Amino acid sequence: MKKTNIWAWLYIIPTLLILAFFLVYPAVNTLFLSFLDRKSELFVGLSNYIFAFTSKKMLYAFRNNLIWLIVFTAFTVSLGLILAVLLDRVRYESVAKSIIFLPMAISFVGAGVIWKFVYAYRPAGSPQIGILNAVLGKTLNLEPVGWLINKTVNNFALIFAGVWIWVGFCMVILSASYKGIPKELLEAARVDGANELQVFWRIILPVMKPTIAVVTTTMIINVLKVFDIVYVMTNGEFGTEVIANRMFKEMFHFRNFGHASAIAVILLVAIIPVMIVNIRRFREQEALR
Q: Decide if 241 contacts 52 (C-beta within 8 A).
A: no
Q: Decide if 120 contacts 145 (C-beta within 8 A).
A: no
Give the per-residue pLDDT at 259: 94
pLDDT at 174 over 70: yes
| Burial of 217 per CB tally in 10 Å (0-12, 13-18, 19+) | buried
Q: Decide if 127 contacts 201 (C-beta within 8 A).
A: no
Q: How far is CA 189 from CA 87, 92, 120, in A?
A: 21, 26, 50
- 75-109 pLDDT, tens digit per residue, is 999 999 999 999 988 888 889 999 999 998 888 88
Q: Which of 22, 35, 56 is nearest to 265 (CA)?
A: 35
Examine residue 113 and state whether it is found in any structural domain, yes or no: yes
Q: Which of 232, 229, 178, 225 is nearest to 205 (CA)?
A: 178
Examine residue 258 and state whether it is found in any structural domain, yes or no: yes
pLDDT band at residue 187 under the 50/70/90 scheme: confident
Give the per-residue pLDDT at 272: 87
pLDDT at 221 over 60: yes
Examine residue 15 and state whether it is found in any structural domain, yes or no: no
Examine residue 7 and state whether it is found in any structural domain, yes or no: no
CATH number at residue 93: 1.10.3720.10
pLDDT at 1 over 80: no
Give the per-residue pLDDT at 31: 93
Choice between 246 and 288, residue whose per-residue pLDDT is larger: 246
Examine residue 2 and state whether it is found in any structural domain, yes or no: no
Range of the domain at 171: 34-288
Give the per-residue pLDDT at 214: 87
CA 253, CA 178: separation in Å to the nearest integer?
47
CA 279, CA 22: separation in Å to the nearest integer?
21
Q: Decide if 248 contacts 227 (C-beta within 8 A).
A: yes
CA 121, CA 131: separation in Å to the nearest integer?
9
Mean pLDDT of 220-236: 91
Contacts of 94 (CB under 8 A, 6+ apart): none
Give the per-residue pLDDT at 36: 92
Examine residue 13 and state whether it is found in any structural domain, yes or no: no
pTM over 0.85, yes/no = yes
pLDDT at 200 over 90: no
Looking at the 3D structure of the chain, how many domains does it have?
A: 1
Examine residue 18 and state whether it is found in any structural domain, yes or no: no
Handedness of CA 249, 54, 52, 273 (dihedral sign): negative
Give the per-residue pLDDT at 116: 92
Average pLDDT value for the chain: 89
Give the per-residue pLDDT at 286: 67
Mean pLDDT of 6-35: 89
pLDDT at 209 over 60: yes
CA 61, CA 232: separation in Å to the nearest integer?
16
Examine residue 144 and state whether it is found in any structural domain, yes or no: yes
